[in-house]
Amino acid sequence: MKFLELAQFFERLEGTTSRLEMFQILYELFSQADKEELGKVVYLTMGELVPSFRGLEFGVSEKLVMEALSKASGLKLSSIQKLYKEFGDVGKVALEVLKREGKGLSVSQVYEELYSIARARGTLDKVMLLINLLKALSAIEAKFAVRIIVGNLRLGVGEATIIEALALLLGDRNYRQLVERAYNLCSDLGLVAETLVHKGLEGLAEFKIQPGYPIRMALAERVADAEELIRRLGRCAIEAKYDGFRLQVHKKDKEVYIYSRNSEPMTEMFPEIKQAIMEISARELIIEGEALAVNEETGEFYPFQITIQRKRKYGVYEYSKEYPLKLFCFDLLYLDGEDYTVKPFMDRRKRLEDLITFRNTLELSDLKIVQSTKEVEEFFEDAILRGLEGIMGKRLDAPYTAGSRNFNWVKLKRSYKGQLADTLDVVIVGYFYGRGARAKLGIGTLLTAVYEPSSDTFKTLSKVGSGFTEEEWVSLKKMLDEIKLDHKHARVDSLITPDVWVEPKYVITVSADEITRSPLHTAGKVGDEPGYALRFPRAVGFVRSDKKPEDATTVEEVLRMYQLQKRVKIE
């Protein structure tokens, strides 16, 4: 396929306001792509060259792209900068200033060029390669190429929609589950697409876990109290719920790879965990645990803020000396060629206990087998006294359900009077200019939404106007203006029209007093019935860099929280 054709598909995807149409365009694109190139087409559609867990970054700023555009077009840098100021998007600038026909490069050729730019070490090399590429592209091709380079493709195509389009490529949308299963086991849609075209249905059905490819994490449902926990799980395991970083740690011979909850590469951030895993005798291994800083002297857990300071890239080593982390291991997913995700929880746990024998950096999570409400309550009170946020309950005979949230695992959290027991993660889909004191900031309220996986869309749940400092509002406006849209995004379902629509990209955590029914919002709305909304929502913290829009709270979870709040007795 010519890269020009791909760019034309991107134009159509960018212009659509309907999710169904987005699906149809994607299907058309995947059907027309050459077999050999389908993986690359999938990555490029997601604005990537390789899955994000590989941690390959272009390292090319807008400023460098402008320099390259100036050289490739022969225009003065100042003119390019002026246009960038006007459009706020290097893609539009490229479209405006490049006038060549283009050399008709194929998708693979452009992919290789982009790959060389990402791999080049020095800035100078990157710019030279980019100038050459721009000279070979037509304006519309360049528009998308430079957007991919600066990490701002903005097609807004969701993974779920890609999965569905790939399933249809197999002949039936119902193969979605098969495609999804493979994706859950490797977090790499390009690899799934390649498997699908080269090995067909059978190859996909036989898709296996491989260390070095993150498994999409299993998630927990909420329960209201100890009684519901026992009612749902029966005799079960309960564990302390640690408030740290969830990590999935892979060992493959002499290599260790550590991934975040969102499958981001984190190996360099946790040198002490890497070292501890190296010492385990297994050749291949995948385990999960929660990492947090523990005060060596008192044995107390440090607050999450201390743990999260690791996120700063520099001084990791010093930090690991000052605040060493422990990984509280709670699951085993793979061991020396054997897939453990399919085994019952207790089998996995027993094998994990055999592996984690020395207790230092690696510890086992606290676990107790219980069968009565009273035992759960005692364990819960004890956990709260130790400063933990709650407990987890786990079904003894359940497999590890990659990429899904269900009642195999449940969480029971402390609740506060007059407040929802849990926070929600919502996606910003637009904002209002603001009145009064906020008018000068040009932003006063956010329109936020939750995720509905079945339709791969975002349904509005609440306006959020409090919880941020003035500086945070200013940064938010800047961030949102960069992803501003002139129409509602195809995957957003809203009855409210904000002053500015934005691409669903940023997730924030909000707390609220209550979930109420509301005719204004589309979350949980069926026919003429009202939807759901938040009462007195306020933001907690700033934008969650660790969550993708699809990791936001789901509509189903909101319904569940609505039912739970009715049952929780408020003392």
Catalytic residue list: 241
Question: Of 246 and 252, which has the nearer Cβ to ligand ATP?
Answer: 246
# residues contacting ligand ATP (CB under 6 A):
13
For position 19 contacting ligand ATP by CB under 6 A, the verdict is no
For position 392 contacting ligand ATP by CB under 6 A, the verdict is yes
Asked if 155 contacts 144 with a C-beta cutoff of 8 angstroms, the reply is: no
**Rounded CA gap, 56 and 117, in Å?**
11
Name the residue with the smallest CB distance to ligand ATP: 246
Residue whose structure tokens are 């249809």: 168
For position 351 contacting ligand ATP by CB under 6 A, the verdict is no
Among 10, 242, 270, 506, the residue binding ligand ATP under the rule CB under 6 A is 242
**x-or-dash pattern for ligand ATP, window 409-428, by CB under 6 A?**
--x-----------------
For position 246 contacting ligand ATP by CB under 6 A, the verdict is yes
Helix/strand/coil (H, E, C) string of 255-281?
EEEEECCCCCECHHHCHHHHHHHHCCC
Question: Of 134 and 240, which has the nearer Cβ to ligand ATP?
Answer: 240
Asked if 512 contacts 562 with a C-beta cutoff of 8 angstroms, the reply is: no
| Min dist. Cβ of residue 438 to ligand ATP (A) | 29
- Using DSSP, state whether 439 is helix, strand or coil: helix
Length of the chain: 571
For position 464 contacting ligand ATP by CB under 6 A, the verdict is no
For position 355 contacting ligand ATP by CB under 6 A, the verdict is no
**Rounded CA gap, 12 and 9, in Å?**
5
Asked if 396 contacts 236 with a C-beta cutoff of 8 angstroms, the reply is: yes
Q: Which residues contact 340 (CB under 8 A, 6 or more apart)?
A: 332, 333, 334, 347, 348, 351, 400
**Rounded CA gap, 161 and 183, in Å?**
13
| Min dist. Cβ of residue 261 to ligand ATP (A) | 6
Q: Which residues contact 468 (CB under 8 A, 6 or more apart)?
A: 476, 539, 542
| Min dist. Cβ of residue 456 to ligand ATP (A) | 18
Residue whose structure tokens are 């067909």: 200
Among 71, 126, 241, 560, the residue binding ligand ATP under the rule CB under 6 A is 241
Closest to 64 in 3D by CA, of 87, 80, 82, 46: 80
Q: How many CB atoms lie within 10 A of CB 316?
A: 16
For position 220 contacting ligand ATP by CB under 6 A, the verdict is yes
Which span sits near ligand ATP by CB under 6 A: 178-186, 239-247, 305-313, 487-495? Answer: 239-247
Q: Which residues contact 437 (CB under 8 A, 6 or more apart)?
A: none
Among 180, 194, 239, 493, the residue binding ligand ATP under the rule CB under 6 A is 239
Which span sits near ligand ATP by CB under 6 A: 72-80, 240-248, 435-443, 560-568? Answer: 240-248
Residue 53 has which token pair? 């867990």
Residue 350 has which token pair? 């027993």
**x-or-dash pattern for ligand ATP, window 287-306, by CB under 6 A?**
---x----------------
| Min dist. Cβ of residue 242 to ligand ATP (A) | 4
- Using DSSP, state whether 565 is helix, strand or coil: helix
**Rounded CA gap, 388 and 477, in Å?**
35
Among 260, 365, 408, 511, the residue binding ligand ATP under the rule CB under 6 A is 365
Question: Of 489 and 544, which has the nearer Cβ to ligand ATP?
Answer: 544
| Min dist. Cβ of residue 72 to ligand ATP (A) | 44
For position 330 contacting ligand ATP by CB under 6 A, the verdict is yes
Residue whose structure tokens are 């290789």: 112
For position 326 contacting ligand ATP by CB under 6 A, the verdict is no
Which span sits near ligand ATP by CB under 6 A: 85-93, 160-168, 235-243, 517-525? Answer: 235-243
Among 140, 165, 189, 219, the residue binding ligand ATP under the rule CB under 6 A is 219
Q: Which residues bind ligand ATP (CB under 6 A)?
A: 219-220, 239-242, 246, 261, 290, 330, 365, 392, 411
